[in-house]
Amino acid sequence: MRDFIMSNSSKPLIKPQHSIPVMPATQETRLIAQVKLLQALQSSLNIQDVLSSFFKHIQPLVSVSGLVLTLKDKETNFKAGRNSIHSCNYGLNTEEGYLGEIVMTRSRRFTEDELMTIEMFIGSLVFALRNAIRYQEALTLALLDPLTLLGNRAALESSIKRELPFAVRHHQDLSILMIDVDFFKSINDSYGHDKGDHVLREIAKTIQTICRETDLTFRYGGEEFLVILRNTNLQGAQIIAERLRQQIASTAIPLREGGAIRPTVSIGISTLYQGQKEKAADLFKRADIALYNAKSSGRNCVMHENLETVTE
């Protein structure tokens, strides 16, 4: 890999690791192409758009078959074009830290002259990427509950506006779990808000562990959580809810002075009625009624919207 390091006060530092025959490219054509690229990169803060612009604008000078950008978490990839045999790799660094790695491929080896051109273009790309990554991270943080790292109310509203019409359009099942921590006020009063926060974090982790990757999890507010279960009917929702209730009931959060907090939850379920003009408010209201009845029936149980207890 060839490291690409940018700072506000110095030029890019490239450490070549191989020698390839030269194919000349004029400085004038490079500069013209770079100006066009800079203009294009300023038009979007979307990472995929930034990468696609880079891919498009480098083509007149260096033929590239495909690009892959892997961000620093090593799990998030963005692609343009298609993969090929030969590649050149660059680690993207700024004074603020490592951004990720970009890999360019094509069917024949890159010449040193072409690598010089690519490196000039990366000088424009790296700061555009940094700004796009910052923007995406800010958007993500704006949709996260800082305590539990689940989605917040804003994320929930955005998700249900997308998921409900999708389920209706494709005639798919959709269910909601509304989850409330039992006697949470007494936990705060007895052990302090720090322990109360610890309880909420542990329950949030359990929800994420029990629920499937396709499910969407949120902190609904206070000690309430909500899960959107995609493509899940009432029976499937009951199974997941009961597993969740049992797992939380078996959780013991140790206390420094001895003993442990053993939280429980009550869960209400609602399911999409196909063929009716359902709104998100309808689903939430029915789940809320089911939750209210679960708490009225002694707590630490699961009930669905027809008001039947489903706890084993």
Which one of the listed residues 163, 223, 278, 305 is annotated catalytic?
Answer: 223
Using CB atoms within 10 Å of the CB of residue 189, give its burial: 0 to 12 exposed, 13 to 18 middle, 19+ buried: exposed
> Pairing relation of β-strands 97-106 and 216-221?
unpaired
Told to judge if 223 belongs to the known catalytic residues of this protein, a careful annotator would answer: yes
Using CB atoms within 10 Å of the CB of residue 38, give its burial: 0 to 12 exposed, 13 to 18 middle, 19+ buried: middle
Amino acid at site 181: V
Quote the tokens at residue 228.
């959107």
Do residues 129 and 96 touch, judged by C-beta distance below 8 A?
no
Angle, in degrees to the nearest 10, between helices 280-296 and 153-169: 110
Quote the tokens at residue 175.
């269910």
Sign of the CA dihedral running 77, 80, 84, 90: negative
Neighbour tally for 115: CB within 10 Å: 21
Using the structure block, give the residue that is written with the tokens 């063929």. Answer: 275
The DSSP code for 299 is S
Active-site residue set: 223
